[in-house]
Structure 1
Amino acid sequence: LLIKLAYESWLKREELSNGLIGKVCFVLISLIGVGYLYSHFASAVEQQLDNHLFWLSILFVVSNGLLIMWSRTSKLKQLLLCLVIALEMGLNFNQMLKATPFESETRFREDMLEFSNVLEPLYEKDEDLYRVDNAVRGIDNGYNSSFLYNYHSTPYYSSTLNNSLRKTLENLGLNSKNERRISSVGQTEFLDYLFNVRYKIEASKTAGATVVKINETAQTSMGYVVPKELTKVHFVEKDPFGNQNKIAKNLVEDVQKIVVPAELRQEKRNSYQYTAKVDGMAYLYLPNNQMEKVKVYVDNQLITPKVEIRNQALLSLGDLKKGESATISFKSDEEIILDSTSIQILDTTVLNQVKEELSENRLKISEWKDSHIKATVDVKTDDKVLFMSIPYDQNWVVKVDGRKVAPSRILDDFMGIPLTKGSHQVELSFIPQGFLLGAVISLASLIGLGALEILKKRSKAKK
């Protein structure tokens, strides 16, 4: 649109007065000035308009305005104007793109080859429906590696991301930088099992070279038969430890907590010692700090997750045995205050107990495609529900033993299917909203076009 307006103005350049050109230049300079002042004194974004760019922009506006006044009839002067505009556009292009990150084609090709070599044997070995967690920082930080390498996973980066699901995962401790993305950073081993993460892509150094390999975590399932009480569980914002304890408590009758606070003692400013009360992985959660401005060290070793986390993700600190201690320190301009709930341990004993309970009541998938799943499940007692680690969506059609049933929300944003005691065949089909109506309209349009073509040929034949 701007190019069209500029071209039309140039065609009528002889009709434009010097006063009008001067006014336009004055308005442009004023707008640049407003932008400069806003970026320095009012904007929430830290990046400010550079002083050199500010004056350079004004210089080009003034010089272009003068050249337009001066070169209305002279071809040579118009060539000078063309060169100045080309120079301005070139500098602008360079300035805009020099800070834009681009991926390396060589790295992209190497990643494709490396990941394909480890994933293709996995597809042949295990044809079940499961998720894979990529613990290796890859193209786009691994957010959409599952699309690139064709596997199912938790991380996702899209403008159409289900925001309700994103908030639910965030409440469980997963990292979410903004409304467009969710990462698996912060996903505990307990959530791995619950969400059917069966394999992890990991990197290890061998003889100085980095080797990517896949390790199996556990024989997980896309669904588990769970107590009906789990349908009443709702998550509290910024309480991932409490939310995971709620799940575990309602899964296994005699379990109260799956994550337990560590004993905490402050040694000096931004340095604490924590001691494990149980065996397990330690996690840090600091909801009120800007974690992108904080470096975390455990026993002088820098903790570096695969993506930058902010204040809402659980940060894994490493395994500890009961009674073992570690020192956590922070490199930050501000003081980091920890309380008794900031560092908690995922109890390995309770985790194994929960895994065993879920394993005995897991869904067995017999057939699956992108939008269709067939499976079997045994229910030992009444008042049970099948938890599916598939996000709830009203467009899922669920059948149990051939009869259509209405799924419900469970754990805020996942799918729950009511079941009675006995063996059941479960079938799920996904029909996108508007698909049937769209298909009918498309078919009617196709028939209409065909009919018009026939009428057109008959009309020509008569003539």
Structure 2
Amino acid sequence: MAGNVPQIDSSVLSMVYFFLITYVILIFLLNALKQQWITISILVMLCIELVALNRLSVIRRDVMYVRELNEKVSYNDYTVDAVNWIKQQDKDLFYRIDKAGYYSSGAIHGSLNDNKIQGYFTTSNYNSFAQLNYVRYFKAMGIISKNNEVEARWVPGLAGRPLLEAQNQVKYVLLKALIPPQWKLMFDSLGMQGDVKILKHKYVLPFGYTYKKIMKLSDFDKILPYKREIITFQTAVLDDTTYFRLYNHLQTYNLKDTSIADNFTFNTLEKFKDTLSAEHLQLEQFDNNYIKGKIKASENKLLYLSIPYDEGWRIYMNGKKINGFRINGGMTGVFLPKGEYVLEMKFHLLYAKKGLIMSAVGLLLLAGIFVFRKKLID
């Protein structure tokens, strides 16, 4: 591709034109003369086309050889060793790992879903129907455009944004390039597995941590994107409707308070981290459909859970069902009045029961129609 103009092989284009013109002529003759030899000619042309274009569709296709399955390439590269090493060292129930600057896929284009093959949680994702609130989070943080549908499918993740990685429990980063000097302030180097360097985040927050202050999303949108990453260490951001429902119960954060972002230092980052993680969710169980933990709130607080908000998650505090809401644009938030709680989250696929009922009703109706028609025939 030269610039934005795709380059087409002229010989292939000529071949395609030849076959198209030939087919048009033969089909015209078949309709006019209705001779068997014309039908045979079309079949012969189809065979010639298959042979001629076989070189493009099959022979020139990239293949993986059996020996490559045992080599440290593609999805079997040293990322696998790095992830296994991390899992042996870190027994926490949940954390994320980001790749910085490389992909394991052997395809022309890098994959955002390497983690699904290599077995770890991360922040990047490709899905033609990406989770809506996860996309909203990235839009709120200014990472992807609010008006670009393509970016909503190719969610790039938080690699290269260590402040947001800290907020979303990206505990480790893997990279193959040289470690950027500024990253040494944010990460500790744990060593290498092959050509993959393993870094551990110094300021990573727990899976669930608590805010004292809240801010309106409409105000948050007015802040420059680079400042948003700092501001969310100080305050939770709520949709305006949720904000007005809770602002009497929590401290408020206004646009004038955002000036602290201009004087940000790593000392303040350490303080922010300590404040947010002082009262956090202590995980006891974690899997894709069930999360359980304990938390104590010394005052009214807002719990931030670093998973996208989804109505399929049913949240219980001390056995009582409560409603969660979107926080920081798209993650999961829970209001915590002062007290001690056992928090449980159970995932239920929305409309699954209704779908089964409708399917059953449809089958019964189909059976009824079949019986009714049989009686009419008899």
Residue pairs, 1:161-176, within 5 angstroms:
161-174=130-143
CA contact (8 A) 2:233 2:276 kept: no
Name the CA distance, whole Å, in 1 between partners of 2:171 and 2:134.
21
- Is it true that 1:59 corresponds to 2:18 in the alignment? yes
Name the CA distance, whole Å, in 2 between partners of 1:178 and 1:100.
28
Q: 1:390 to 1:126 in 2, by over 3 A?
A: same
- Is it true that 1:178 corresponds to 2:151 in the alignment? yes
CA contact (8 A) 1:408 1:415 kept: yes
CA contact (8 A) 1:235 1:411 kept: no
1:368 aligned to 286, 290, 294, which one?
Answer: 286
Residue pairs, 1:443-454, within 5 angstroms:
none
Partner of 2:321: 404
CA contact (8 A) 2:231 2:261 kept: no
Q: Which amino acid aligns with 2:155?
A: I
1:84 aligned to 40, 45, 56, which one?
Answer: 45
The count of aligned residue pairs is: 318
1:157 aligned to 110, 115, 126, which one?
Answer: 126
- Distance apart, 1:116 and its partner CA: 3.2
Q: 1:72 to 1:159 in 2, by over 3 A?
A: same
CA contact (8 A) 2:137 2:331 kept: no
Partner of 2:205: 220
Deviations 1:407-426 (A, max 9, x none): 12211211111111232211
Q: Which amino acid aligns with 2:270?
A: N
Partner of 2:114: 145
- SS of equivalent residue, structure 1 residue 248: coil
Partner of 2:367: none
Q: 1:364 to 1:88 in 2, by over 3 A?
A: same
Calculate percent identity across the aligned residue pairs: 18
- Distance apart, 1:211 and its partner CA: 2.1
The alignment's TM-score, normalised by the length of structure 2, stands at 0.68
Partner of 2:298: 380
- Distance apart, 1:61 and its partner CA: 2.9
Residue pairs, 1:291-440, within 5 angstroms:
347-382=265-300, 384-438=301-355
Name the CA distance, whole Å, in 2 between partners of 1:62 and 1:396.
58
Name the CA distance, whole Å, in 2 between partners of 1:49 and 1:366.
57
- Distance apart, 1:127 and its partner CA: 3.6
CA contact (8 A) 2:140 2:329 kept: no
Q: 1:189 to 1:141 in 2, by over 3 A?
A: same
Name the CA distance, whole Å, in 1 between partners of 2:67 and 2:362.
47
Flag structure 1 segments of 5+ consecutive residues without an equivalent.
1-44, 261-277, 279-345, 449-463
Q: 1:236 to 1:46 in 2, by over 3 A?
A: farther
The alignment's TM-score, normalised by the length of structure 1, stands at 0.57
Deviates more, 1:419-428 or 1:104-113: 104-113
Deviates more, 1:131-140 or 1:187-196: 131-140
Name the CA distance, whole Å, in 2 between partners of 1:229 and 1:157.
31
CA contact (8 A) 1:230 1:247 kept: no
Partner of 1:324: none
Partner of 1:42: none
- SS of equivalent residue, structure 2 residue 233: helix
Name the CA distance, whole Å, in 1 between partners of 2:342 and 2:298.
15
Deviations 1:141-199 (A, max 9, x none): 24111211221111111111024532431442436863311112565221111111112
- Is it true that 1:247 corresponds to 2:206 in the alignment? no
- SS of equivalent residue, structure 1 residue 179: helix
1:199 aligned to 160, 166, 172, which one?
Answer: 172
- SS of equivalent residue, structure 2 residue 151: coil
Q: Which amino acid aligns with 1:138?
A: S
Q: Which amino acid aligns with 1:202?
A: L
Q: 1:389 to 1:230 in 2, by over 3 A?
A: farther
CA contact (8 A) 1:130 1:152 kept: yes
Q: Which amino acid aligns with 1:122?
A: I
- Distance apart, 1:238 and its partner CA: 9.4
Q: 1:370 to 1:445 in 2, by over 3 A?
A: farther
CA contact (8 A) 1:371 1:430 kept: yes
Partner of 2:96: 131
Name the CA distance, whole Å, in 2 between partners of 1:352 and 1:104.
49
Q: Which amino acid aligns with 2:291?
A: I
CA RMSD, 1 decimal: 4.1
- SS of equivalent residue, structure 1 residue 178: helix
- Distance apart, 1:258 and its partner CA: 6.7
CA contact (8 A) 2:170 2:201 kept: yes
Q: Which amino acid aligns with 2:336?
A: L
Partner of 2:80: 116
Name the CA distance, whole Å, in 2 between partners of 1:213 and 1:138.
14
- Distance apart, 1:242 and its partner CA: 3.6
- Distance apart, 1:385 and its partner CA: 0.9
Deviations 1:22-60 (A, max 9, x none): xxxxxxxxxxxxxxxxxxxxxxx7337666555443332
- Distance apart, 1:245 and its partner CA: 4.1
- Distance apart, 1:83 and its partner CA: 3.8
CA contact (8 A) 2:207 2:281 kept: yes
Larger Rg: 1
